[in-house]
Amino acid sequence: MTKNLKSWIYPLFIVGVFLILSNSCKKNEDGTTSDLTANGNGIIFNPNLKYGTVSDKDGNIYKTVTIGIQTWMAENLKTTKYNDGTAIPLITDNTAWKNLTTPSYCWYKNDESTYKNSYGALYNWYSVNSGNLCPSGWHAPSDNEWSILTSYLGGEFIAGGKLKETGTSHWLSPNTGATNDIGFSALPGGIRAEAGTFSYLGFYGHWWSTTDTNIPGVSIVKDWAWYRTLRNDGIGVDRSSYYWNKRFAYSVRCVKD
């Protein structure tokens, strides 16, 4: 009897271990994997740091981290409401998106269930510039506040590696130089372009600033705004603006007032 019992227990044990391992490294549709043992969102944070929390009007709870004189969200924003409870328009249609010059948001590939929890939402600049996108007591960062962050980390040429989540659970290989030293856990949430098309998930993370590039008398730059980019194959932080990019949708990180 004992011998027969053992013959059943061992195979069941092996099957159980296999299921645990396979589920803890779930394959996403874009070829990346999510380490589901990291946290409920699959995001890998720095285990050596102490995180705070903040919540939005939807009840989403975000980890926060203090970096130098600033306190940042350690996750991408995913609220569907302004901090006064008003709904932000969700736009899925490409034609409607292209013509927008008012606040709006979307989910990558219009697929909330797949991308919301880890990557957050994508917002156009008009929603970021509304002044009440972030939770009360927080705000979307200015171009200068991004510069304060990268300067604290040694400058734009090397700051990216210290900001990026480690490994290739979300970043596509090689995720060059990623250490997440300061707990920012930056993720490559991709973009939605002016035409409404989605791209770059896993390759790039783009984050808005509230600062536009308006130059009096130069009309060509009136629809441009500053943003920051991290890449899977580099350690720098790119500071850029782009024609008509206020109509693009990028990720958002909030900073404490």
Higher pLDDT, 257 or 39: 257
How high is the pLDDT of residue 216?
Answer: 65
Q: Give me the amino acid identity at 47.
A: P
What tokens does 166 get?
């480690």
From residue 224, alpha-carbon distances to 159, 196, 210 in Å are 24, 17, 11
How high is the pLDDT of residue 221?
Answer: 65
Tell me: pLDDT of 46 over 90: yes
- The whole model's pTM is what? 0.83
pLDDT digits (tens, 9 = 90+) for 210-219: 999 876 666 5
How high is the pLDDT of residue 160?
Answer: 97
pLDDT digits (tens, 9 = 90+) for 160-199: 999 999 999 999 999 999 999 999 999 999 999 999 999 9
How high is the pLDDT of residue 29?
Answer: 35
Max Cα–Cα distance, the chain, nearest Å: 90
Q: Kindly list the strands in the beta sheet with 249-250, ordered across the sheet, starting from the edge strand earlier in the chain.
A: 105-106, 122-124, 249-250, 191-192, 198-199
Break the chain into its structural domains and give their ranges: 31-256
Among 4-18, 20-34, 144-158, the least confident range: 20-34
How high is the pLDDT of residue 223?
Answer: 84
What tokens does 91 get?
């736009």
Among 136-140, 204-208, 218-222, the least confident range: 218-222
pLDDT band of residue 77 (cuts 50, 70, 90) is very high
DSSP 184-205: --B----EE-TTS-EE-TTTEE
CA distance 59 to 10: 44
Average pLDDT across the chain, whole number? 87
How high is the pLDDT of residue 222?
Answer: 72
Tell me: pLDDT of 108 over 80: yes
Tell me: pLDDT of 21 over 90: no
Tell me: pLDDT of 13 over 50: no
